[in-house]
Amino acid sequence: KEYYFEGEICRTKYDSLMALQKQNKISFADSTLVNDTKRMYYQKADSAFTIVAELNPQYYGGLMWKGRINSLLDPEAMTDNAKGAYVKALLILEAGDVAKNRRSIIEVYKYLGSYYYLNSDRLVKDDKTKAEALRTTSIDYFRKILALDPGDVQSLEVFRKLKIAP
């Protein structure tokens, strides 16, 4: 977790540097170095949680952390790394006490809903049928969130933006 938190510190620094650059408050910031350092810390955290997941395959926590870290390494969901970790964690979570694991399950559903939405958006020009199937899968995940937490702001916002009923 320490590697993850070091990565978060670098992410905050990077975001600050980029904001200052956009406001023309600094002429140049070495954001590349900060970004590379952030990536290095996240990769080390991912490696550590890979070992945790291998040592205890029934512990969803290692997989959840892998999902979080990989979603930060790949914010546009271009790879399946975060999805794979989250799906494995979800299998463990849903096999256990759903009420107790509700927050973690919602986290997984949010990632998967976003993952499928981003990928449907990319495919819409090339394969409308597949894009629509991915969009439907995305919507299904946001509906599952509302089944667990009817007041979830992010999910309600998704339905509002898409102009469809939850």
Residue type (1 letter), 28: F
Q: Which range among 7-21, 38-52, 62-76 shows the weakest confidence by mean pLDDT?
A: 7-21
For Cα atoms 89, 66, 43, give the angle at the middle one, nearest 5 degrees.
165
Please determine, for residue 23, whether its predicted confidence score (pLDDT) is greater than 80: yes
User: Which pLDDT does position 28 carry in this prediction?
Assistant: 67
Confidence of residue 20 (pLDDT cuts 50, 70, 90): confident
Please determine, for residue 24, whether its predicted confidence score (pLDDT) is greater than 90: no
User: Which pLDDT does position 147 carry in this prediction?
Assistant: 96
Confirm if 85 and 96 have CB atoms less than 8 A apart.
Answer: no
Q: What does the pLDDT average to over 31-36?
A: 88
End-to-end CA distance of the chain: 36
Tens digit of each residue's pLDDT (9 = 90 or more) over 106-162: 999 999 999 999 999 888 888 899 999 999 999 999 999 999 999 999 999 999 999
Confirm if 55 and 31 have CB atoms less than 8 A apart.
Answer: no
Confidence of residue 67 (pLDDT cuts 50, 70, 90): very high
User: What percent of the chain clears pLDDT 90, i.e. is strictly above it?
Assistant: 80
